Chains A and B, each alone.
Chain A
Amino acid sequence: MEVGQMQRRLVDYTKSLFMEKGFLDAQFLQLQQLQDESNPDFVVEVVSLFFDDSEKLLNDLTMALDQPNVDFKKVDAHVHQLKGSSSSIGAQRVKNACIAFRSFCEEQNIDATLRCLQQVKQEYYLVKNKLETMLRLEQQIVAAGGSIPMIELGF
């Protein structure tokens, strides 16, 4: 694929992540703005950190909810962390799922929290997939000698 084509694809893909599906929100643009010559891999670094952190949290959550006596305080703390992280990178749908999750933690509703965990997991893996695709596309563009097109979105 030639660079121009890849660039167009990246723009379209990124837009779809923001617009149609709401996977990402304006916060992600903040991250992109933070990336510059002095910090060329910032987005990849933050996103990788997000992946590591989230997966650890999801594991912890799964374990915590698997206990005979669920410690909802602990669960809530984990979800709070995940919410903070997802909100920071703009993973909107994960964040929203976390908000719902937390409200059920307060209710101590085990069934609902289990459902929420599934939901959060699903949203996480979705956005992970999307972000990976996007970043891979960016890397391909860079490898082919192109520059990452700036995405203008009206937020």
Chain B
Amino acid sequence: MLSSTFCLFFLSVKALLYSGLDVIQSQSFEERYGGDKRPISILDGIYDIWQEVPRRKNNIMVPSKRVEIDAEYDTVIYWKQRAAHLEKMLEASMQREQLLMEKLQESIKNLEKQSSPVEELSQVLKRADNFLHFVLQTAPVVFGHQDKELRYRFIYNHFPSLQEEDILGKTDVEIFTGSGVKESQDFKKEVMDKGLPAKREITFETELFGSKTFLIYVEPVFSKAGETIGINYMGMDITDQVRKRERMIKIREEIAVQKAKETELNRTIHITEETMRAKQMLATMSHEIRSPLSGVVSMAEILATTKLDREQRQLLDVMISSGDLVLQLINDILDLSKVESAAASLRKILTLEGNVADDVPVEVIGDVLRIRQILTNLISNAIKFTHEGKVGVKLYVVPEPPFAKEGSQNGSAESTANQSTTNVPKEETCTSTSQTSSDQRGFHGKKHEGSCQDRSQSERGTPVTHGTIDVTEEQAELPETTVWIRCDVYDTGIGIPENALPTLFKKYMQVSADHARKYGGTGLGLAICKQLVELMGGRLTVSSQVHCGSTFTFILPYKVSLSCDHSDDPDDDLSDMDDHGATDDDATAGFFQFQPRTLGSLFSSNGSSRTQNLLAHNIGYVNSHKINGFSENCYSFPTSNGQTKEMDLVEDACSVAEALEISPEPESSFSHSPDHDNESAICRDEHHHNVVNAENKVSTRDVSSCSETSREVDVKVKITEPQLPAERQGRSDSGFQSTLNSSREASNSISKPKILLVEDNKINVMVTRSMMKQLGHTIDVVNNGVEAVRAIQYHSYDLVLMDVCMPVMDGLQTTRLIRSFEETGNWDEAAKAGIEKPSPSSDSLQPDCTPPKRIPIIAMTANALSESADECSANGMDSFISKPVTFQKLKECLEQYLP
């Protein structure tokens, strides 16, 4: 405390000395707390630091002694005595003088020895000065005192650019110039005016010391009277700190920006993913919607061919055009997702090559729409995945490929699920359909040297419509051959890694999630292509090398008409076909290609006449309408296929057969009530109409299946009804009757419907069983397909609920085996799959007696993607219930399929 006071004291002294002021002043800083408890500086006017040296007190007392003399005044003795006395006194005085003199000498000596207070003070001051210099020598601070006019009265600057004499007595602006100087001066003024200390950062840009930032603290200094008499200020160079701080701020800002960007990016990724998912969802949904919708439209179109009054026709026209519109919309949605995914790759330059070998016929007969769809898909894929180089298409004729021959020779050996898509007819199918009419046989013979496909086509067609190949009569007479054309779609694109090849043709599978993100698309294209090609009797293969490119090859059989002048392609033009058909009295039914198993099951299963099918045809519609009305969960296949302006006869026939055999509606088939008779009579009547019409106009239908996933074949079929109405009626009656009877017997013999559940999941079994119990049914349960086949071998069931995905044998194969039994009356197929035939004692129906009843088989699918409805129907299932099974779904299903 003492030393600090001293320092301040010293400073002021020094300041005064430096400034050369006349008036000796001293400063005293008193701490005084104001209202706001801030210390303020007060410089008192005059404070005498040179205290007067204390006056020496001179209290030496000289006693005046009076000498007593005994002798008589004015006598000699008296005077003598007086003289002697005086002499003594003098002597004593002399002695005292001597003593004093000595003391004086001594004092002088002492005085000389003692240092003067000035010197002492000077030394103290010097020490303090040294201390301050020591403390402040490296401190980057400047401090000073400025008076009321802001003239420097004192300045301390360790790195002075100016001498003190250049500063003192001047104001800031008088000393130096540049940015910041004025600001600093104004700031000081402000503090002085306000009387409150303040801090501020001021950046100077001066010639004197360049660019520097100072943190300046300014406090007002008051006189004792409370008058502002100047300021104290202290400045610290914080240029480095400011620079660091600014860099820090910048970094923080950058980080913030980066974070914001990151968030944005994440959001975008999220949105993109969501969009992708939504798009895929949309595509899937559209797919799912398209099938049933096209069923509705097709049915409406068929309805339009029946006799309607004007109003009905108008209503129907509106219905059809609305339906078409919705279909178009859905198609657009599907196209859109394709376009969008291709959009990313629009801007690039690719060479598109086309190469058609010389031996490729100028004109072949094939399904223009489907082949175009395949080509479009493959080429757009090629373009999508090719960033530079070329994309090309090559066409050349190839000999009949081995897979086709193999199929014709030992196709029946194929029984595994994998091969179910090959389009090779089975031998059984062939034999079972051997009851062809004579003209067909002739035709058959003619065709025999042709490919197996042709044979199967004619045979397939036979039971239904006594058909011939899809050509007019004249054409049928002309020689016709099948040519196999190979089409390569190649590119120099990114290629496909080997491990992705197995799943390449799977639905909704893309090479990788990354690819999906990058290239978009639904993952449906190739799956559809493969199915289309295979359903047309061909093969789609791929070879690829990563980074080098891919080649997709499909080989398809086409028919070549040798009549060169025939220019109308029946596949292309409906009206043309009608025209041709008009001249055709004979039954013609041609199937370009189709899936043998499905069709085989349909057409060969039914020994009864075509008319029965036709009758059932109508019942089928009645049925399906009801079905559609019934439930949302329990879909029925029959009407779900067909596409705008094209009706799927194959499918249709399928639904026909199934509908009749299922005979689910009591009033329409089982109960045999008068109502029913009327209804069927009406049906027949309707048919007669059709036939009459047909004979004039020929009821030709161009049919194409469009069941997206399993049968996207464009099977163009022409049917003409050759027979007389009377005959038809008779036959239809009997055919119908017999079926009815057999079903009736079946229903009578069993008091309670027997239901078989094929399901491997215990919990599902438990839940389903319990639900069935509440619905009043007990059920048999088996855990896999093999057990199911065994159960059906030994017992007859009215309904089978079949899980699709099961160990040992899945539901699809199981259904095929059961259907095969129902068609052929024997368990040969099952035996081939390793299930031994039932012993003769079993109660299963013998093939030669009544044909086995067709059991409704309801698929229970876990998800619609991998276990698609189309796949189920393609394998002969009647309907499906999506899992988890609920009361409502089961109830609806039972209502529909049990009498």
- Do A and B interact with each other, yes or no? yes
| B883–A106 CB distance below 8 A | no
CA distance A88 to B768 in the complex (A): 9
A85 interface neighbour in B512, B764, B863, Cβ under 8 Å = B764
Residue on B with the closest CB to A31? B767
| B767–A30 CB distance below 8 A | yes
| A84–B509 CB distance below 8 A | no
B885 interface neighbour in A49, A77, A88, A107, Cβ under 8 Å = A88
CA distance A89 to B766 in the complex (A): 10
CB distance from B285 to the nearest CB of A (A): 17
B887 interface neighbour in A30, A39, A53, A83, Cβ under 8 Å = A30
Residue on A with the closest CB to B513? A107
| B760 CB contacts on chain A under 8 angstroms | 81
Task: Verify if B807 is at the interface (C-beta below 8 Å from A).
Answer: yes
CA distance A89 to B770 in the complex (A): 13
| A88–B763 CB distance below 8 A | yes
| B774–A34 CB distance below 8 A | yes
Task: Verify if A113 is at the interface (C-beta below 8 Å from B).
Answer: no
CA distance A88 to B886 in the complex (A): 9
Task: Verify if A62 is at the interface (C-beta below 8 Å from B).
Answer: no
Known: A30-B771, A34-B774, A88-B884. A77 touches B807 (CB 8 A): yes
Task: Verify if B741 is at the interface (C-beta below 8 Å from A).
Answer: no
What is the 8 Å Cβ interface bit string for chain B, positions 861-884, against chain A (1 contact, 0 not)? 011000000000000000000011
What is the 8 Å Cβ interface bit string for chain B, positions 496-508, against chain A (1 contact, 0 not)? 0000000100000
CA distance A80 to B509 in the complex (A): 18
Which of B503, B761, B774, B885 has the most chain A CB within a 10 Å cutoff?
A: B761
CB distance from A21 to the nearest CB of B (A): 19
Within 8 A of A (CB), among B848-865: 862-863
CB distance from A131 to the nearest CB of B (A): 13
Task: Verify if A87 is at the interface (C-beta below 8 Å from B).
Answer: yes
CB distance from B226 to the nearest CB of A (A): 71
| B513 CB contacts on chain A under 8 angstroms | 107
CA distance A9 to B386 in the complex (A): 63
| A34–B767 CB distance below 8 A | yes
Within 8 A of A (CB), among B753-781: 760-764, 766-767, 770-771, 773-774
| B761–A81 CB distance below 8 A | yes
CA distance A22 to B863 in the complex (A): 20
Task: Verify if B805 is at the interface (C-beta below 8 Å from A).
Answer: yes
| A84–B764 CB distance below 8 A | yes
| B883–A88 CB distance below 8 A | yes
Within 8 A of B (CB), among A13-54: 26-27, 30-31, 33-34, 36, 39, 42, 45-46, 49-50, 53
| A49–B763 CB distance below 8 A | yes
CB distance from B894 to the nearest CB of A (A): 16
| B770 CB contacts on chain A under 8 angstroms | 34, 39, 42, 46
Interface residues of B toward A: which range? 20 to 34
| A27 CB contacts on chain B under 8 angstroms | 884, 886
Which of A33, A46, A88 has the most chain B CB within a 10 Å cutoff?
A: A88
Residue on A with the closest CB to B774? A34
| B884 CB contacts on chain A under 8 angstroms | 27, 30, 87-88, 90
CA distance A107 to B512 in the complex (A): 8
Which of B513, B762, B887 has the most chain A CB within a 10 Å cutoff?
A: B762
What is the 8 Å Cβ interface bit string for chain A, positions 53-93, against chain B (1 contact, 0 not)? 10000000000000000000000010011011101111000
CB distance from A17 to the nearest CB of B (A): 17
Residue on A with the closest CB to B860? A84
CB distance from A57 to the nearest CB of B (A): 10
| A84 CB contacts on chain B under 8 angstroms | 761, 763-764, 862, 883
| B766–A46 CB distance below 8 A | yes
Residue on A with the closest CB to B887? A30
| A26 CB contacts on chain B under 8 angstroms | 886
CA distance A35 to B773 in the complex (A): 11
| A80–B885 CB distance below 8 A | no
CB distance from A115 to the nearest CB of B (A): 15
CA distance A36 to B863 in the complex (A): 30
CA distance A49 to B774 in the complex (A): 20
| A46–B503 CB distance below 8 A | no
CA distance A106 to B764 in the complex (A): 24
| B773 CB contacts on chain A under 8 angstroms | 39
Known: A46-B763, A107-B512. A87 touches B883 (CB 8 A): yes
Within 8 A of A (CB), among B189-243: none
| A33 CB contacts on chain B under 8 angstroms | 887
A83 interface neighbour in B766, B807, B862, Cβ under 8 Å = B862
CB distance from A60 to the nearest CB of B (A): 13
| B863 CB contacts on chain A under 8 angstroms | 99
CA distance A81 to B761 in the complex (A): 6
| A34–B771 CB distance below 8 A | yes
Give 3 closest A-B pairs by Cβ, nearest first.
A85-B763, A84-B761, A87-B884
Residues of A within 8 A of B (CB): 26-27, 30-31, 33-34, 36, 39, 42, 45-46, 49-50, 53, 77, 80-81, 83-85, 87-90, 99, 106-107
Listed A/B pairs (19) with beta-carbon separation below 8 Å: A27-B886, A30-B884, A33-B887, A34-B771, A36-B774, A39-B770, A45-B766, A53-B762, A84-B862, A84-B883, A85-B762, A87-B883, A87-B884, A88-B763, A88-B767, A88-B885, A89-B763, A106-B503, A107-B513
Residues of B within 8 A of A (CB): 503, 509, 512-513, 760-764, 766-767, 770-771, 773-774, 805, 807, 862-863, 883-887
14 extra interface residue pairs, beta carbon distance < 8 Å, beyond A34-B771, A46-B770, A85-B763: A30-B767, A30-B771, A36-B774, A39-B773, A45-B766, A46-B766, A53-B763, A80-B805, A80-B862, A88-B767, A88-B885, A89-B763, A90-B884, A99-B863
